[in-house]
Amino acid sequence: MGKIRQAGDDGRTMQTRHQPGKAAWMALLGVLFVPAAVNVYHAQSPTQVSAVPAVRETSIQREARELMVREQIAARDVRDQRVLQAMLEVPRHLFVPPELQPYAYLDSPLPISHEQTISQPYIVGFMTEALKLKPEDRVLEVGTGSGYQAAVLSVLVREVYSIEIIEPLASEVAARLARLGYSNVKVRAGDGYRGWPEAAPFDGIIVTAAPDRIPHPLLDQLATGGRLVIPVGKYFQTLNRVTRTAKGFKTEKLLPVRFVPMTGKAQK
């Protein structure tokens, strides 16, 4: 178990303390030394991660992302090579405000618009790995936030459906994902407690805010063999993985966490 992982928004995680390494220094150096931007195309990899849209980035941003994956995620027992490759390819700095881009690859959540946050990279990696995703899967995300988690999912699976309860944020992020070329992600505004029934069943569901109890509509929308990864609790929270079997549901408690409360119907 170890340390409590805290949460912000689309992991809605605040932070697990981890000693900053070279990645932090590389990200900060981007403030002082910004070489000319280069066009980078990330093609299909042998780990079966879908091609990521072309992005415009600096060599420092690329190196900082490589260090983030190596020092903050792989070094802390996230082993799924597809997940690591996806996080290596998705440009996290494009999901934070421009003034915070030099800090995008630090081991920390960062504020985004509408008083929300982008999650700590480690939490994104851990929760994504816990879903045990396959390329043909269809995934529901509850809590779109910055869109970063949805982008990571989009290069791992066939389709992503993402719900955000803050309507202006949902509109903003849908435009961002479309602009960046993540064409297999559908975003809508709504109460994630109810899920997305007309698109169900899902092979994976990931929830980035904590209800007091697991919403039954989300369980109903899991395919047989599907996995739901969700933080549950009020003052003391646990990240759970629920797998739907032919006979019912199997629940595993993964680690202690601290997420913001799920709003909407979950609070009633």
Active-site residue numbers? Answer: 119
Tokens of 233: 């609790």
Specify whether the CB–CB gap between 200 and 171 falls below 8 A: no
The tokens for 73 are 């995620």
Instruction: Kindly state the helix (H) or strand (E) to which residue 41 belongs, with its residue range.
Output: strand 38-42
Q: Determine the straight-line distance between the first and last CA of the chain, rounded to whole angstroms.
A: 31
Measured CA angle at 101 (ends 97, 107), to 5 deg: 110
Cα gap 234→255, rounded to integer Å:
15
Q: At what angle do helices 22-32 and 59-67 cross, to 10 degrees?
A: 160
Q: Please, are residues 263 and 165 in contact by the beta-carbon 8 Å criterion?
A: yes
Instruction: Give the other-Cβ count within 10 Å of 56's Cβ.
Output: 11
* Residue in the structure block whose two tokens are 């109810």: 194
Q: Which of 25, 26, 43 is nearest to 89 (CA)?
A: 43
Q: In this structure, are residues 201 and 231 in contact, taking their beta carbons and an 8 Å threshold? A: no
